[in-house]
Amino acid sequence: MSNFFQNFIDPAFWYSVLRVSTPLLFAVMAALVSSISGSINIGIEGMMLMAAFWGNVVGAFVKNPWIGLVAGVASAMAMSLLLAFSHLKLRVNLVIAGVALNLFGSGFTVFMLFALTGEKGTSASLGSQPIPRLDIPLLRDIPFLGKVLNNHNALTYLALISIFLVDYLIRKTPLGMRMRAVGENPDAATSVGVSVLRVKYLSLLLSGVFAGFAGAFLSMGYVSWFARDMTSGRGFIALAAQALGGNSAILGALGALLFGIAEATGFTLQSLRIPSEITNMIPFILTLVVLIIYARTRVRSHSRIQKI
């Protein structure tokens, strides 16, 4: 057990927390920018998968990870555009359209993988173009923190920066305020001349961008190949983390980090022979617990208002 506690003062543990959390951070931002304007993006999982696939494959074909990244993000945006079109224009139920996108992403990527490589498992035979890691001179020399924060994948830093960008966007900019207004009360927004449709399109598209980064990180940073269904439910975990944070980017990001910690702890616990079924459940048990606490505090604050 002493092993277990030692683990938490090991910088390598916190380093891995950041790495585990990176796709979640992006996905939480994707969930946030869409839900803030009133449309829950269930399709994040499928968008991530699509971006993971195209990012890796295009990167391998043109031998440039950055072009791959652009292609990956573009493919996720195309998916989100499809979602926005079917929901906003064709009036399809958002949840059903999202689920359809997820199923489509899972099947289509395997189909294309087979068409391009003749394999159905991984894209390993294409070779890989991972996005480079950044070695930051000043950061490197700080004790402990240097080991935790330095030498991450470039996308990990982008994920951390994007928390504050999204926070600024939704709290300070006119666009952010419109997004919130549309989410809170579309009729009121319309009455003051905000185009609800345009704002919703924009926020779903932005959601696609972040989902694209999340997916690209999986196949170009975390590991350097695409494997079928490699998102493994991370898009859904992100939806839960975003729900914890409500409309705050910072709280949502903390939620993602909490999942990262839970998952990384699970990895360490496992090799100490805690049954794998339990360690694999940890992030999800945590979701339930935090949601219950969250719901209770919400109920309390509501009742207080009523008393006054």
Partner 1 sequence: MKKFLVILLATLFVLSFARPLKVALLLNGTLGDKSFFDSAGRGIQMAIKELGIEAKIIEAGYQQERWRPYLEDLSDQDYDIIIVGTWQMQEILEEIAPMYPEKKYFIFDTSVDYSKPGLDNVYSILYKQNEGSFLVGALAALITTSGMPKTNPEPIIGFLGGMDIPVINDFLVGYIEGAKYVNPNIKVLISYVGSFNDPAKGKELSLAMYRQGADIIFNVAGNTGVGLLEAAKEADRWAIGVDSDQALIYEDIDIEIAKRIVTSMMKNVDISIFRGLKLHLEGKLKYGQAEALGIAEGGVGVADNKYYRELVPEQIRAKIKEIEEKILKGEIKVSTAYGMSTDELNKLRSSVRP
Long-range contacts, 223-226 (Cβ 8 Å, 24+): 224/56, 224/128, 224/129, 224/130, 225/56, 225/122, 225/123, 225/124, 225/128, 226/52, 226/53, 226/56, 226/57, 226/109, 226/113, 226/122, 226/123
Q: Which of 67, 81, 85, 128 binds partner 1 (CB under 8 A)?
A: 128
Residues in CB range of 207: below 8 A, 6 or more apart:
30, 31, 33, 34, 41, 44, 80
Q: How far is the CB of 74 from partner 1 (least distance, A)?
A: 22
Q: Which of 91, 118, 192, 301 is close enough to bind partner 1 by CB under 8 A?
A: 118
Q: Judged by CB under 8 A, which stretch of 32-40, 148-156, 163-171, 225-233 contacts partner 1?
A: 225-233
Residue nearer to partner 1 on the CB measure, 184 or 229:
229
In this chain, which of 275, 285, 289, 293 binds partner 1, going by CB under 8 A?
A: 275
Selected range binding partner 1 among 96-104, 125-133, 200-208, 251-259, rule: CB under 8 A:
125-133
Shortest Å, Cβ 223 to partner 1: 5
Between CA 111 and CA 235 the distance in angstroms is 21
Instruction: Mark residues 277-306: x for contact with partner 1 by CB under 8 A, - for none.
Output: x--x--------------------------
| 121 is an interface residue for partner 1 by CB under 8 A | yes
Q: Does 127 contact partner 1 by CB under 8 A?
A: yes
Nearer to partner 1, 119 or 251 (CB): 119
Phi-psi region of 91 (alpha: psi -120 to 50; beta: other; left: phi over 0): left
Residue 120 lies near partner 1 (rule: CB under 8 A): yes
Residue 228 touches partner 1, criterion: CB under 8 A: yes
- Asked if 10 interacts with partner 1 (CB under 8 A), we say yes
Among 18, 74, 209, 264, binds partner 1 (CB under 8 A): 264
- Cα 196 to Cα 102, 174, 207, 277: the distances in Å are 26, 14, 16, 45
Q: Tell me the sheet residues that pair with 122.
A: 227
195 binds partner 1 (CB under 8 A): no
Stretch that binds partner 1, among 165-173, 185-193, 216-224, 292-300 (CB under 8 A): 216-224
Contacts of residue 269, defined as CB under 8 A and 6 or more positions apart, other chains included, come to: 4, 278, 279, 282
Q: Is 273 in the site for partner 1 (CB under 8 A)?
A: yes
Binders of partner 1 among 149-188, rule CB under 8 A? none
Dist CA 261 CA 131 (whole Å): 24
Q: What's the rounded Cα separation, in Å, for the pair 203 and 226?
A: 28
Give the one residue of 40, 85, 122, 151 binding partner 1; rule: CB under 8 A: 122
Task: Give the binding site for partner 1 (CB under 8 A).
Answer: 3, 10, 12-13, 16, 19-20, 23, 114, 118-122, 124-125, 127-128, 218, 222-225, 227-230, 232, 263-264, 267-268, 270-273, 275-277, 280
